[in-house]
Amino acid sequence: MSKSDLFILFTALILCIIVFGPWAHGEAGGAFMFHAIWISILVLPALSILLDKIERKEVK
Amino acid sequence: MLQLTELSIVVLYMLFCVGVGMYYRKRAQENVKNYYSAGGSLGMVVSIVATFAAWSSGGTMIGGASTGYSLGLTFIWSAVFGAVIGYVISARMIAPQIRKYDQINTIVDYFKVRYPQSKFLWGASTVIIALAYALYIASQYKAGGMSVEYTLGIPYEWSLIIIAVVFILYVSMGGMWAVTMTDFIQGLLMLIMSPLLAIVILVYYGGPADLLNAALEVQPNWSQQMLPPVSTIGFMLIWLTMVLCAPHLIIRLFSTRDSNVARSTMIYTGLLFGIFAILTYFTVAAAGKIMFPPDQKLADADLLYFKVLDMHFPPILRGFALAAVLAAVMSTCSALLIACAAAIGNDLLPIIKPGASEKQKVNVGIWTTIIVGVFATIIALDPPKLLVVLFSEATGFMVAGLLFPFILGLWWKGFTGAGAITSLIIGSGGYGFIALLTNLKLVTLPVFSGYLIVLPVAGIAGIIVSLMTKSQAVTHVQSEAQ
């Protein structure tokens, strides 16, 4: 497992904690979770694609 | 009353699918590798769009929006988030590993190589896959039958039969070649029509912020969690783990040209699905909330997509949108059917009849496609409730059993056949048992929360049994996989 694999796994874990953490519940947290979740859905694969491209450049 | 424009588009589309099956018939039936994994030669763009189409079922297209409408947007987005995490993990930790194994076409093939002594595991996993996928296919049939019935006015039962006949024909004739090529076209159709509907809705309501505010005025708690957090997290975990080991996605990894293509396929499919789900679920569910507020709630929420289509699209676009829904249904069903056919023809047959020829394996696959297709049609004649809930429960049952034998098998050489069998029995058996108890109303648990209990228990039990039987750990597999 490479460093970037670990970085992505760690990021996914952090995003899960942000999205589903205790602060995501309740009235104010509802709006927070709503926005945190769609941003996370886009950020995680985009970050993975970016790291993949960097890795492949380094290999070349 | 049949709508001529929509009917013509749908008929042309179905004829096209059957034509593709006939075109690829000869090539697909040459050998097992061609029939079940398209010869392992697919390029990146075809593979990404086809995988996206196989994943984005009619259930997710229609059911995702209706679940967002009924149970809140964060609930369905949680599942999407889970799937996206699954794609990223699969790209980085599964695709490169699994592609090291040559000469395997399916997940059960992998079990045969990784756990060579555990025949029970091969047979039980085959049966679990076939059973779960028959239920999954039935939920997709409902989506297809409903869409044809609602839009064209053909009775639900007949709609179901027409759809079933079309895709049983092209899958059984053309195998994975036909499945992938039709999936590619179907994926493109979905990627054009759904964002188009989303854009029309956004323009109509004056942009995303205005659309959200209008929906929240109707129901202020709509953007919050409307179910207990354990249900949301359980739902998310089911989708996450499903991406990691669902046979109809794993089979895609074997059909790509090489490990780089397999890896890119998973990452880009995750991104594509994320964008698609955010756009479609938000716009359709929010528009639905405004059109049908809580005091005038739709009796069958799964009809929401069509009601929104009716309001925002003219007939010709409705015809294409309907074709896109059918595309979603057929692409997933065909992927599930080919996975079922592979489970029986490629995996189970050699256990029952050692030395079965390539021709026999392909023929059994063809007959499995027909039998499972008909069986699922019978289940779907009495349609279940919310689509997403049904197929998530069916896959939860399957994935709870397959996850650890697959993932730990790839990453830990000390995971033994006995550990894998324990994990399979506790995972699928436990999830099925909890589902039975809750359906019989003997226990009351929030929906999907059983998964949070069963999954860790299955993993821990598998690890403990593996440690107790570590003398059986297979070491030659690692060298074979290098």
Q: What is the average per-residue pLDDT within B101-114? A: 82
pLDDT tens-place string over residues B181-195 = 777 777 788 888 888
- The answer on pLDDT for B1 being more than 50 is no
Contact flag B224-A52 (C-beta cutoff 8 Å): no
List phi, psi (to 5°) of B7.
Answer: -60, -45
User: pTM for the whole thing?
Assistant: 0.84
Which of A42, A48, A52, A57 to mutate to probe the B interface, most B CBs <10 Å?
A: A48
**Nearest-CA distance from A8 to chain B in Å?**
8
Residue B425 buriedness (CB in 10 A; 0-12 / 13-18 / 19+): middle
Contact flag A30-B263 (C-beta cutoff 8 Å): no
Contact flag A45-B80 (C-beta cutoff 8 Å): no
Going B28 to B249 to A53 to B412, the CA torsion angle's sign is negative
Contact flag B264-A25 (C-beta cutoff 8 Å): no
Minimal Cβ distance to B88: which of A12, A24, A27: A12
Per the model's pLDDT, the better-predicted residue between B354 and B481 turns out to be: B354
Contact flag A37-B78 (C-beta cutoff 8 Å): yes
- The answer on pLDDT for B3 being more than 60 is yes
Give pLDDT, residue B283: 93
**Nearest-CA distance from A26 to chain B in Å?**
8
Residue B264 buriedness (CB in 10 A; 0-12 / 13-18 / 19+): buried
Write out chain B in H/E/C secondary structure: CCCHHHHHHHHHHHHHHHHHHHHCHHHHCCCHHHHHHHHHCECHHHHHHHHHHHHCCHHHHHHHHHHHHHHCHHHHHHHHHHHHHHHHHHHHHHHHHHCCCCCCCCHHHHHHHHCCCCHHHHHHHHHHHHHHHHHHHHHHHHHHHHHHHHHHCCCHHHHHHHHHHHHHHHHHHHHHHHHHHHHHHHHHHHHHHHHHHHHHHHHHHCCHHHHHHHHHHHCCCCCCCCCCHHHHHHHHHHHHHHHHHCHHHHHHHHHECCHHHHHHHHHHHHHHHHHHHHHHHHHHHHHHHHHCCHHHCCCCHHHHHHHHHHHHCCHHHHHHHHHHHHHHHHHHHHHHHHHHHHHHHHHHHHHHCCCCCHHHHHHHHHHHHHHHHHHHHHHHCCCCCCHHHHHHHHHHHHHHHHHHHHHHHHHCCCCCHHHHHHHHHHHHHHHHHHHHHHHCCCCCCCCCHHHHHHHHHHHHHHHHHHHHCHHHCCCHHHHHHC
Contact flag A34-B224 (C-beta cutoff 8 Å): yes
Contact flag A34-B275 (C-beta cutoff 8 Å): no
pLDDT tens-place string over residues B456-465 = 999 999 999 9
- Residue B479: pLDDT band (50, 70, 90) is very low
Q: Token pair for residue B400?
A: 């709870």
pLDDT tens-place string over residues A6-60 = 898 899 999 888 888 776 666 656 678 888 888 999 999 999 989 888 887 877 6
Residues of A with CB under 8 A from a CB of B: 1, 4-5, 8-9, 12, 15-16, 19-20, 24-25, 27, 29-31, 33-34, 37-38, 40-42, 44-46, 48-49, 52
- The answer on pLDDT for B453 being more than 70 is yes
**Nearest-CA distance from B88 to chain A in Å?**
6
Q: Token pair for residue B209?
A: 């912020």
C-alpha B68/C-alpha B379 separation (Å) is 26
Cβ contacts of B407 on chain A, cutoff 8 Å: none
Q: CA B387 from chain center: how many Å?
A: 12
ipTM: 0.91
**Nearest-CA distance from A42 to chain B in Å?**
6
Give pLDDT, residue B232: 86
**Nearest-CA distance from A32 to chain B in Å?**
9
Q: What is the average per-residue pLDDT within B340-364? A: 79
Contact flag B81-A19 (C-beta cutoff 8 Å): yes
pLDDT tens-place string over residues B269-309 = 999 999 999 999 999 999 999 998 888 888 778 788 888 98
Q: What is the average per-residue pLDDT within B104-127? A: 86
Rounded to 5°, the CA angle B309-B313-B317 comes to 105
* Angstrom distances, CA of residue B408 to CA of A6, B207, B294, B380: 17, 46, 46, 35
- The answer on pLDDT for B37 being more than 70 is no
Give pLDDT, residue A42: 92
Give pLDDT, residue B31: 62
Cβ contacts of A8 on chain B, cutoff 8 Å: 88-89, 92
pLDDT tens-place string over residues B124-153 = 998 898 888 888 888 788 778 887 787 778
Poorest-pLDDT segment among B24-33, B238-247, B262-271, B398-407: B24-33
- Residue B33: pLDDT band (50, 70, 90) is low
- The answer on pLDDT for B475 being more than 60 is no
- Residue B478: pLDDT band (50, 70, 90) is very low
- The answer on pLDDT for B455 being more than 90 is yes
**Going by C-beta distance under 8 Å and a sequence separation of 6 or more, which residues neighbour residue B347?**
B106, B108, B109, B112, B122, B126
Give pLDDT, residue B421: 95
Contact flag B93-A25 (C-beta cutoff 8 Å): no
* Angstrom distances, CA of residue B436 to CA of B81, B424, B461: 28, 18, 22
Contact flag B270-A48 (C-beta cutoff 8 Å): yes
Per the model's pLDDT, the better-predicted residue between B122 and B46 turns out to be: B122
Contact flag B73-A34 (C-beta cutoff 8 Å): yes
